Amino acid sequence: MTGRELIFRPTALTIACTDLDRSRRFYKDVLGASPDPRDGYGCPWFRLGAWSITLMPNAAERSQSSFPDHAMTILWLEVDDLGAAERLFARHQVEVIQPSDGQFMMIADPDGLMIEVWQAE
């Protein structure tokens, strides 16, 4: 099989976290992820748009990455109203890494993982 015949399909994102309850609240209550009842070997699954996300509570400490100094994966989300998202993040005391410029903003999940939030076109 050549590389051209091999197709990779993204199916899920696993997020290693330090505190399962705190991460569950963030992804469910702040980002609006809905619980997915599948068996995750003790890890809860969620749907966030087209993505499946599982939270794996096995991290000993927060991410040491800082934007833009370190190589990292960044989750990219879009919203219909970036201003409303910014107010929601403030109410939930979400860490803002880069404030909104009207087009996008950068936040961190409870373990410091980067999330870009863009105004949908």
**Could you report the per-residue pLDDT of 9-39, keeping only the tens digit for each?**
888 999 999 999 999 999 999 999 999 988 7
Q: Map out the domains of the chain with their CATH numbers.
A: 12-119 (3.10.180.10)
**Could you report the per-residue pLDDT of 27-86, keeping only the tens digit for each?**
999 999 999 988 778 899 999 998 999 999 999 998 887 777 778 888 999 999 999 999
Q: Which long-range contacts (CB under 8 A, 24 or more apart) does 93-100 make?
A: 94/26, 94/30, 97/67, 98/67
Residue for token digits 């994966």? 73
Residue for token digits 């399909």? 9
Longest dimension (CA), the chain: 52
